[in-house]
Copies of this chain bind each other. A is one copy, B any other.
Amino acid sequence: MRILPKLSSRHTDHRNYPPGIAYMDGQYLPIHEAKLSVLDYGFLHSDATYDVAHVWGGAFFKLGDHLDRFSRGMDALHMSIPYTKAQIIEILHNCVALSKLKNAYVEFICTRGTSPNFSRDPRDAENRFIAFAIPFGSVASKEQLECGLHLAITDVVRIPPSSVDPTVKNYHWLDMVKGLYAAYERGADTATLIDLNGNVSEGPGFNIFSITNGVVSTPDVSVLLGITRQTIFDICEELEVRCHAQDITVDKLKTADEVFITSTAGGVMPVTRIDERPIASGNIGPLSKRIMHAYWQLHNEGKHRDPVEY
């Protein structure tokens, strides 16, 4: 009989993680202690839905909208958790308050979970809720926000709605990752994917907008119905600018007057170069600037603010 290696009683993780606080299974934990069983189907089958809200200047922004979408996603996936909406709000506020972060990225997740016998029937699993607050992050770096992003249009097809409902926020990102590597190879900062018809879809974590002759457009199918995307519709109405959800061809995007992307992680972020060509003059366009300004202005208004008591 050979000598087998020693069995450890607890996992030791030597990696470094960002600061932050997580909640799971009734406990508040430093983020580096927030660990998911490798048998959770949220990992092994990416069978999960989630949402990300942000805290800016000590207050949540549009938290209710994120919670409503999260709740619809759980229903669509036949998942449930033993927390009311009010309890989830309390948990999220506690994560942020314990983290002391005034600008935070707050993610909340429902996974299919696990069953004691590793059953393959998703109805046998006990669903799991996880939440965490870490420092606010952005799709675009500070320099990219100032000068504009370089976007590559890739031929990777965004997972179609006939396979996975894009309005249920999910972690199916291998198409996005493939797009990112294709973009990096071409010297770009990030990527857009296309839909099954070859029109512009969305990129890794963001919706895409184009502006032509003063009219703002964004794809209406095969995309996440982003909360920030909706905020752009609202801002455009306020600014009396026409804004439509409609198909955007690759050519239309390439010849647009202005292009920007939107995400909870970063807000409104300008694109000034697509593939080998600058957008118009290659500078951030005037209407994009107005919309970016209006977006951050909204954070100061009471309507969408939900202050955290630290």
Residues of A within 8 A of B (CB): 1-2, 4-18, 21-22, 24-25, 27-39, 42-47, 77-78, 94, 97-98, 107, 109, 112, 114, 116-118, 120-123, 126, 130, 132, 134-135, 137, 139, 156-160, 162-164, 168, 170-178, 180-181, 184, 196, 204-205, 265, 309-310
**Separation of A21 and B21 alpha carbons in the complex (Å):** 29
Tell me whether B43 and A32 are in contact (CB under 8 A): no
What is the CB-to-nearest-CB distance from A117 to chain B, in angstroms, rounded to a whole number?
6
Q: A29-B11, A33-B9 are contacts. A175–B171 as well, Cβ < 8 Å? A: no
Task: Specify the chain B residue showing the minimal Cβ separation from A134.
Answer: B118
Per assembly, the copies of the chain total: 2
Choose among B14, B31, B122, B134 the residue that contacts A177 (Cβ–Cβ < 8 A).
Answer: B122
What is the CB-to-nearest-CB distance from A290 to chain B, in angstroms, rounded to a whole number?
27
**Separation of A132 and B118 alpha carbons in the complex (Å):** 13
Residues of B within 8 A of A172 (CB): 46, 159, 164, 172, 174
- 26 A-B pairs in the complex with CB atoms less than 8 angstroms apart: A2-B309, A4-B94, A5-B94, A7-B30, A13-B25, A15-B114, A17-B118, A18-B117, A18-B118, A22-B38, A31-B39, A35-B36, A35-B37, A35-B38, A36-B38, A36-B43, A45-B171, A46-B174, A47-B174, A118-B137, A120-B137, A157-B162, A159-B163, A160-B163, A162-B196, A164-B175
Tell me whether A43 and B7 are in contact (CB under 8 A): no
Choose among B5, B12, B156 the residue that contacts A98 (Cβ–Cβ < 8 A).
Answer: B5
Q: Which are the 3 A-B pairs with shortest beta-carbon distances?
A: A35-B35, A46-B46, A45-B173
Residues of B within 8 A of A18 (CB): 39, 116-118
Q: A171-B44, A309-B2 are contacts. A17–B31 as well, Cβ < 8 Å? A: no
Tell me whether A130 and B25 are in contact (CB under 8 A): no
Task: Specify the chain B residue showing the minimal Cβ separation from A112.
Answer: B177
What is the CB-to-nearest-CB distance from A92 to chain B, in angstroms, rounded to a whole number?
12
What is the CB-to-nearest-CB distance from A84 to chain B, in angstroms, rounded to a whole number?
17
What is the CB-to-nearest-CB distance from A70 to chain B, in angstroms, rounded to a whole number?
15
What is the CB-to-nearest-CB distance from A88 to chain B, in angstroms, rounded to a whole number?
14
What is the CB-to-nearest-CB distance from A165 to chain B, in angstroms, rounded to a whole number?
8
Choose among B9, B37, B120 the residue that contacts A139 (Cβ–Cβ < 8 A).
Answer: B120
Tell me whether B24 and A180 are in contact (CB under 8 A): no
**Separation of A107 and B10 alpha carbons in the complex (Å):** 20
Tell me whether B11 and A28 are in contact (CB under 8 A): no
Residues of B within 8 A of A126 (CB): 15
